[in-house]
Amino acid sequence: FQKSLSETFGADKYSRARKEVLTYMFSRPMQVALYFCTGVLDNETLFHHYALNVPFYTHFTSPIRRYADIVVHRLLSASLGARSPIKMEKEAIQKQADHCNDRKMASKRVQELSADLFFSIFVRVRP
């Protein structure tokens, strides 16, 4: 598969862009991760990470990147006793998670549409 893709990318000035778009398009069908507050969900199987095969999973990056990561850092820090608990009800945390999910989905959709546009142009100009 990788060899076939490498041949498709070509060696012209657009090969890197084609590689990025096609790689993105192949990974698109994967399930999108969602933010949620564990306190509002009763079904603990939703906390499972399929690819890593771990029963409880949380994800975050540097807290300077996204608001959701700041919330996760603060919640984890409080759960470990390194800071005082967040003074937010679980419903308010879930509302913030829903908002972050909405913004992430909108951003992803714009990214997908951009990749689709680039791909259609690529197909049109390709002999």
Query: Cα–Cα–Cα angle for 101, 102, 107, nearest 5°?
Result: 95
Give CA–CA dist 61/44, Å, rounded.
23
Query: pLDDT digits over 62-106, tens only?
Result: 767 778 888 888 888 998 999 998 888 999 999 999 998 999 889
Query: Cα–Cα–Cα angle for 98, 99, 105, nearest 5°?
Result: 90
Mention every residue, 6+ apart, whose C-beta is less than 8 A from residue 58: 72, 76
Q: What is the pTM of this model?
A: 0.62
With cut-offs at 50, 70 and 90, classify the pLDDT of residue 30: low
Report the chain's C-alpha Rg in angstroms.
20
